[in-house]
Structure 1
């Protein structure tokens, strides 16, 4: 019994005895801990610095005018990041929902007079289609330098609202326009990777250099995440009245046109010739 007690006491003493650590090993562990802590702190400070620099770029979009026909105004302030984009082309890529569109014929006229420059994808747009039969549209709008602001760019583009289905209790339909992407195309220099990342763009760079050019996407913050376009719509309870008034107006106008043609047009002259000939 006494020998068993002595063995148990020896085992407990062995377990309870504190572990001895090699001084060299302890120093190595301390060095690795300090190194990891320093690396993490440096990465955190670097992320804060990059975020502060990149957040200097701001994008603002506004919908001017009222009703169906609006002007989309885009403003981009590059801030500190604009120091690296000297001589580069700045553009905004925005996705238009089915409820809003750009008239390609109007855009061609504006580009012919050098009032704006944009690329539509797809380039064929059905301007007569209602909202529920239309598809979305991708617009690449080239921005011009703002003479009143350093590292600022702006551009305006006419947009139009589509007709929506009649509503039951609201006289307006809401079309949400998301914040655009800011793109920069550079031919002579490469932009730092902190705020810029390469982007795939199906459009040519308008730079003068004929060498290889690269599009970049800017990490930025938006003044407003989205803009809302309010489009007037009809009410379903007015459908019968609208159809009746439209039918009466069509019959009345057709009667006036037919009367004028019979009285003053070539149809009356030929009728007289046929009558006199007989």
Structure 2
């Protein structure tokens, strides 16, 4: 009798553990499939009606969010896939660096496209740079570069208020269009400017650039949707080497000294102006007395 009970208990425990394992496996698979369905991967296609990809995005969104941008691309997917011969193998991010000095720098990016069908309609490379907080691109400067044919087209979206300091501004994004040449090599030199940084402890504000989003699109034609292919969805940080710009900022411990010096300078300036006005009035009165 006791042995039968023991066997029944062991069998019940075994069945319970088996059911728990099955539930865990099924829930894991569901979670994985749901996560995959929300991600935009390389070689996916989407269609837009606007001239710029980010122009379509900002018609429904007021701020830049990476997950929302990926969800937006998923909603714009084309009904038909691009023919296999029109799909290039990989867009290779070869070089990425920050050059220059002071508060004006250049973000250098070199991309190499592997060969694909010469008659493909996807002849325009689109680079979307999501700029971090504390950095902005001047739209007028970029338009000047476009007029000099540094690239085919360019536009800035998001926060374009150039006067706002870093702690009051939002992120902005630059979309650059290039015509693909025969070699498939694209090099862009994006001019950037630093905003006024918040006060810190180290005296520097660290701004880190992630990888850009890279797309291959058909030319922009009136009243026709543009078909685009995802070559690379950028990440928050580069896989090879982080691109960092350390921008000078005020040191918190120095604020008291700066306040005292500013106050003393303001008082001395006011006294000097007062003394100068008194002396000038005395000189004028002396001149008037002599003339009489």
Q: Which runs of 5+ in 2 are unaligned?
A: 1-84
- Report the equivalent of 1:131: 166
- Report the equivalent of 2:192: 159
Residues 1-278 of structure 1: matches in 2 within 5 Å? 54-55=89-90, 57-58=92-93, 60-81=95-116, 83=118, 88-116=123-151, 117-122=153-158, 125-143=160-178, 150-168=183-201, 170-187=202-219, 205=220, 212=224, 214-220=226-232, 224-225=238-239, 226-248=242-264
Q: 1:178 to 1:69 in 2, by over 3 A?
A: same
Mapped partners of 2:134, 2:91: distance in 1? 32
Aligned residues: 193
Mapped partners of 1:82, 1:57: distance in 2? 17
Q: CA RMSD in A?
A: 4.1
Q: TM-score, normalised by structure 2?
A: 0.52
Q: Deviations over 1:41-78 (max 9, x none)?
A: xxxxxxxxx9xx63463354321113321112222211
Q: 1:74 to 1:81 in 2, by over 3 A?
A: farther
Point out the more displaced range, 228-237 or 210-219. 210-219
Q: 1:58 to 1:111 in 2, by over 3 A?
A: closer
- Report the equivalent of 1:12: none
Q: Deviations over 1:177-208 (max 9, x none)?
A: 11011122214xxxxxxxxxxxxxxxxx3xxx
Mapped partners of 1:94, 1:139: distance in 2? 5
Mapped partners of 1:88, 1:211: distance in 2? 19
Q: Which runs of 5+ in 1 are unaligned?
A: 1-49, 188-204, 263-267
Mapped partners of 1:120, 1:224: distance in 2? 22
Q: 1:145 to 1:80 in 2, by over 3 A?
A: closer
Q: TM-score, normalised by structure 1?
A: 0.55
Q: 1:150 to 1:115 in 2, by over 3 A?
A: closer
